[in-house]
Structure 1
Amino acid sequence: MTLEDRIVLSIKRRKSVVVLRSEVASLGSSAQVGRVLAKLVANGTLVRVSQGVYAKTRLNKFTKALVPAAPFEVIAAETFRKLRIEVQPGRLAREYNAGRSTQVPMDSVVSTGARRIRRKIQVGTKTVKYEKNSE
């Protein structure tokens, strides 16, 4: 069984959509794992979300194209949870959820509190934006 087969099997067995590089790093050397993950991204099995963070893909039943296996918001939330980064919804989302606004926020904005985060989380054209020092 090749390293690629072992990594693909490991990824398929996981319930979560997000896969961290550190979760499959023990299967081979750093360079080998990097090459296999790059190959899986190139053939569409995975989508790169951030440095060392990947998301599974699935076949869209209408367009027959490979798309991420979950919506962007789910992937971003799972990424933050796996990286142990505490975030809250942004100010506009909090106002909408509390009923103080009827305008639905279009951007994915999260509040990081006093913590400084520079990690870029992106799937396709959607990107997470950060707010700092919010209430």
Structure 2
Amino acid sequence: MGQSPTVREKVEARIAGRPDEVFLTREFRDLGGENQVLRVLRALVQDKRLVRLGYGVYGPAVVSRLSGEPLLASPGGFLGAARQALDKLGVEWEPTATQRAYNEGRSTQVPANPAVRIKGRFSRRLRLGTTELRLER
């Protein structure tokens, strides 16, 4: 008889099989106990396979060849991953006025800091290293 897969193997298989830029801890609830899943996610962060973006929010990582540090493996960058996290958390958001002006061609000023306009309540912080998502009300 073969052994049943461990919680870590189940979590790794679920992450590998999804094209998502962000994962929430609640997406892994059915794989094991809450403490087991959190331990596995912490281990994956230590192994540089995931990066932690905020409370209960993780993203897939690749290791930088230059520094050896984990980088977010997201085609949309940090802002794209943060927007997907807000969608998964059920938070209504929209681009800021400066982002809309740039996208519509009314401005040549490229928005440098990742920011979104939040509709309603949201108090979590989403960050990657020194970059933090700025929330406008």
RMSD between superposed Cα atoms in Å: 1.6
- The residue identity in structure 1 corresponding to 2:127 is Q
Say how many residue pairs are matched.
Answer: 130
1:67 aligns with 2:71: yes
SS at match of 1:112: strand
TM-score, normalization by structure 2:
0.86
Query: Would the aligned equivalents of 2:48 and 2:62 in 1 still touch at CA under 8 Å?
Result: no
Structure 1 regions of 5+ residues with no counterpart?
A: none
- The residue identity in structure 1 corresponding to 2:132 is T
SS at match of 1:87: strand
2:86 matched to which residue of 1? Answer: 80
Moved over 4 A (4+): none
Q: Identical aligned pairs, as a percentage? A: 34
Structure 2 regions of 5+ residues with no counterpart?
A: none
Residue from 5, 12, 35 that aligns with 1:8 = 12
1:116 aligns with 2:121: yes
TM-score, normalization by structure 1:
0.87
SS at match of 1:47: strand
Residue from 92, 95, 99 that aligns with 1:89 = 95
